Amino acid sequence: MSSGMWAEKYRPQNLDDMVNQTEIVSRLKNFVKDRNLPHLLFVGPAGVGKTTSILALAQDLYGPGYRSFILELNASDERGIDVIREKVKNFARTAAISSEVPFKILIMDEADSLTSAAQHALRRTMEIYTRTCRFCLIGNYSERIIEPIQSRCSVFRFSPLSEKDLKGRVRTIAKEEGVNLIPEGLDAIFDAAEGDLRKATNLLQAAAATQGGEVDDIAIYGVLGRVSPGKVREMINLGLKGEFLEAREVLRALLIDEGLAAEDIIRMIYSEVLRLGIPEKRKVQLSDAIGEVDYRLTQGARSEIQLSALLAKLALAGEEMC
Amino acid sequence: MSDDGRPWASRFRPSTLNEIAGNERAVGQLRGWLRSWEKGPPERRAAFLYGPPGVGKTCSVVALANDLGFDLFEVNASDYRTKKRLDELVGRASMQTMTITGKRRMILFDELEGVSGREDRGGISAIVSLIKGTRVPIVLVATATGEMWEDKFGPLVDLSLVIEYRPVPFSAILRRLREIADELGTQVEEEALEHLAHRSQGDLRSTINDLEAIARGAERVTMAEAEVLGERDRSDYTPDALMKMFSSKTLMDARRVISSSLISYDTLFDWIYENLPVVLDDSGDLAEGMDALALADIHQTRGRRSQEYRLLKYMFNDMTGGVALSRSRSEGAGLVKLVRRKVAELGFQPSSFTITERPEGLQIKPVRYLGDDWRPFNSALRGMGAQWVREGGYWNVPYFRPPQLIWRYRKTWHSRRRLRSVAERVAERCHVSTREAVAEVIPLLKVIFKEDASMAKQISGWLELDDKETKWLKS
């Protein structure tokens, strides 16, 4: 099997291949055995096997031709609920041809990013097509999914991967790919991945690309410095040093050149600020300021202006701490 | 050339390329593109020229048409209100490559900025379909600055070779004024010419008008006469308006910038945002000023969302008074500090340059011959909007630089397009959203593509990327 990205190459293909989330997996296996399943709601942090589970279930259920029985949508990429409804309609309208399984599966990733109005519309769609189509909704937080949908789904809560599981998996991939990953490197990957196996695997692959020999913590930090969170850290440090103009340049590069969503930048700023070596009270103050910007962005304010104002606050905080 | 009673701005309007002052690069680009039509229609069938007023955009099109032997078919704003009208007028012209007299044809859309608001959407899309089908070069000219560039002209820009015109440099304006004075046989004091050139702020056309105002019929013009022009009550060129705004002590004074400046308040907002960190060089002032600007942004968003335009006045107050009055501890030496830092960063002694504050900007003069060091220093200063003034042997850094947004969007246009298409491939193959692909996966792909050619090849095959996308990931 040849695959460009290791995260895909080593994505478990069948439920039997899955080593984590054992309880969930055994319940999913029962669905396969029964040749039937309810609507599903998978919630849990990123990179712990939600998408993998449903894809594996589909392969077990439909066999090699499973692709024609599923439709993957990502709520954050679809332009409004009407587009989604149209796609669902077209997909669900044609009845499944499989003799044994009389329904198809619609996978809706990031379903928790839909507004509650959109979710209500989705709920009606789910009901209309329930005979020929099962929905698997995936999200990070179940609180963001409206009650009526939750009550129509079997809810599966995916737990974060343990350190042992995540490290074990990364070590296996490194071995298969002939990468000499030393423990310091693995620790660094674990710290950066925040429990996200996909992130960890991608990071390993990028570090392996930069390194002829062994992958150590320095290699990992080298890669991290070159990707978005690293640039966000650089921006924050420039801000704290009072070099506002340079910080703003980095911000522009992130927003325009690299096309990052403002929400992603603010999320990275937030997690970097919590890690800063500054007085705890400062962190609360800055968190407050970040929260204000975060809210303003949801209200349609211009992201560069609002984020720049935050950088100016960082510059002031940096000066006051001197 | 005889005095035929025409205004000088039109009498001395360049008719051939040699007479165009400044913007050599832009004119060269336009010329190259027009020449490329000799081998049949190029990929981009339109050129989009934009820049401030009076810098020679339309002039250079007319002059090039003359030089290259094109018949110029001009269309003005009032002509493209609706698709129907435009088709009647231009449709046929765009399909005929030759006129009856055997000249090649070219179409000029002037005053494109006049297409405004929704009722004209038909106009823009009509031009778009004309461009797609045209057999002759189409040149679009807009006196445009600011954000509208992306929104309004987006569809046109997509199809066009985009060419930016900049303010004509002080030295080029001075040279042109001297030529005109010589041609007229009028003696104009050097100081007076310099005064005019400085007032021009890069707008050559208005400067020739100024010259006419004091020199028509005169044999001699002195500095005193030039000074009479003083603060002519024309609208302020943006940097002047900003200068006044930032030094205002009252809200009302600061707010005056909204009505006195030539540009829309949106564009003005961008100017203020661009320059505020240089003017407010104290961290406390800066945080306060940025806060005011962020609040102005909020007021604007509210006004737009609720369609209650009376809310805009709160935006104006914050973006002008709020910003100007937050200046309390700043020394106003931000630009000097910035230049000093650049000097140090590039490894020069502070004494290698003299830095003088002049009305037109900061004058930076090397004390000794720079040799090979000139280039890196030049490009560092250019980033701050500086121009090298060859005659005086110094750089002039204007106190205010135009918003960098347009420039940035333009520079990254192709790159952002690749980003989008790669993100879609990654999203599909890796089962993530495009947003996540952009934030989490593509940055790592870039590292891989730069570092490991064989892994890159495998991945690009797996993602089914084309050569351009692969190259983009490597760059």
The residue type found at B208 is: I
Decide if A308 and B287 are in contact by the 8 Å CB cutoff: no
**The dihedral of CA A201, A206, A209, A215: what is its sign?**
negative
Domain end among B384, B402, B420: B402
Q: Closest chain B residue to A10 measured between Cα atoms? A: B430
Locus of tokens 């009208």: B85
User: Taking Cα atoms as reference points, which of B439, B332, B269, B250 lies closest to residue A308?
Assistant: B269
3-state secondary structure (DSSP) of residue B345: helix
User: Taking Cα atoms as reference points, which of B244, B237, B233 lies closest to residue B198?
Assistant: B237
Decide if B291 and A312 are in contact by the 8 Å CB cutoff: yes
Residue ranges of chain B whose pLDDT lies below 70: 1-4, 77-82, 114-122, 144-152, 228-237, 262-263, 406
Residues B340 and B428 in one domain: no
A contact residues 175-214, partner B, Cβ 8 Å cutoff = 198-199, 202-203, 205-206, 208-210
Residues B396 and B462 in one domain: no
Pick the residue of A202, A220, A298 with the most B CBs within 10 A to test the interface with B by mutation.
A202
Write the residue in A4, A248, A257 that is nearest to B415 by C-beta.
A257
**Chain B interface includes A306 (CB < 8 A):** yes
Domain assignment present for residue B263? The answer is yes
Decide if B443 and A227 are in contact by the 8 Å CB cutoff: yes
d(CA A84, CA B305): 26
Residue ranges of chain A whose pLDDT lies below 50: 1
Per-residue pLDDT tens over the stretch B391-429: 888 898 888 887 877 677 777 878 888 999 999 999 999
Chain center to CA of B28: 17
pLDDT at B147: 42
Q: Closest chain B residue to A314 measured between Cα atoms? A: B287
Residue B198 exposure: Cα atoms within 13 Å on the Cβ side: 18
As a whole-number percent, the residues of chain B with pLDDT over 90 amount to 27
Decide if A316 and B287 are in contact by the 8 Å CB cutoff: yes
Domain assignment present for residue B6? The answer is no
Decide if A258 and B430 are in contact by the 8 Å CB cutoff: no
Domain assignment present for residue B151? The answer is yes
**Chain B interface includes A261 (CB < 8 A):** yes
Residues of B in contact with A8 (CB under 8 A): 429-430
Domain assignment present for residue B14? The answer is no
User: What CATH number corresponds to the domain at position B90?
Assistant: 3.40.50.300
Residues B33 and B160 in one domain: yes
Residues B262 and B369 in one domain: no
Residues B244 and B312 in one domain: yes
Instruction: List the structure tokens of B437.
Output: 């692909």
pLDDT at B114: 67
Decide if A209 and B455 are in contact by the 8 Å CB cutoff: yes
**Chain B interface includes A54 (CB < 8 A):** no
Number of domains observed in the structure of chain B: 5
DSSP H helices, B372-441, are 374-382, 405-411, 413-430, 434-436
Distance from CA of A294 to the nearest CA of B (A): 13
What helix, strand, coil percent values describe chain A, rounded to 5?
A: 65, 10, 25
pLDDT at A2: 52
Domain assignment present for residue B83? The answer is yes
Q: Under 8 Å CB-to-CB from A263, ≥6 apart: which residues?
A: A294, A297
Domain of B100, in residue numbers: 23-164
pTM listed for this prediction? 0.68
Residues B247 and B301 in one domain: yes
pLDDT at B218: 75
Residues of A in contact with B427 (CB under 8 A): 74, 77
Residues B160 and B177 in one domain: no
Decide if B433 and A109 are in contact by the 8 Å CB cutoff: yes
Q: Output b/e per residue, A28-43; b: 16+ Cβ within 10 A.
A: bbebbeeeebebbbbb
Q: Phi first, then psi: what are they for A253, rounded to 5°?
A: -60, -40
Decide if B444 and A202 are in contact by the 8 Å CB cutoff: yes
**Chain B interface includes A168 (CB < 8 A):** no
Chains A, B: CB contacts under 8 A, how many?
154
pLDDT at B25: 87
**Chain B interface includes A319 (CB < 8 A):** yes
User: What CATH number corresponds to the domain at position B174?
Assistant: 1.10.8.60
Domain assignment present for residue B344? The answer is yes
Residues B182 and B138 in one domain: no
Pick the residue of A110, A179, A227, A297 with the most B CBs within 10 A to test the interface with B by mutation.
A227
Do residues A271 and B423 touch, judged by C-beta distance below 8 A? no
Domain end among B272, B292, B324: B324
Q: Output b/e per residue, B192-227; b: 16+ Cβ within 10 A.
A: bbbbbbebbbbbbbbbbbbbbebbeeeeebeeebbe
Distance from CA of B399 to the nearest CA of A (A): 15
Element (H, E) at B228: helix B223-229
A contact residues 101-140, partner B, Cβ 8 Å cutoff = 109-110
Decide if A206 and B447 are in contact by the 8 Å CB cutoff: yes
Write the residue in B286, B301, B461 that is nearest to A4 by C-beta.
B461
What is B169-205 written as a DSSP string?
Answer: PHHHHHHHHHHHHHHHT-EE-HHHHHHHHHHHTT-HH
pLDDT at B336: 87
DSSP H helices, A256-322, are 262-275, 280-298, 303-321
Domain assignment present for residue B75? The answer is yes
Write the residue in A110, A259, A306 that is nearest to B416 by C-beta.
A259
Residues of A in contact with B433 (CB under 8 A): 74, 76-77, 109-110
Residues B295 and B421 in one domain: no
3-state secondary structure (DSSP) of residue A40: strand
Residues B120 and B184 in one domain: no
Residues B376 and B418 in one domain: no
Residues B63 and B90 in one domain: yes
Domain end among B324, B346, B365: B324
3-state secondary structure (DSSP) of residue A295: helix
Domain assignment present for residue B353? The answer is yes
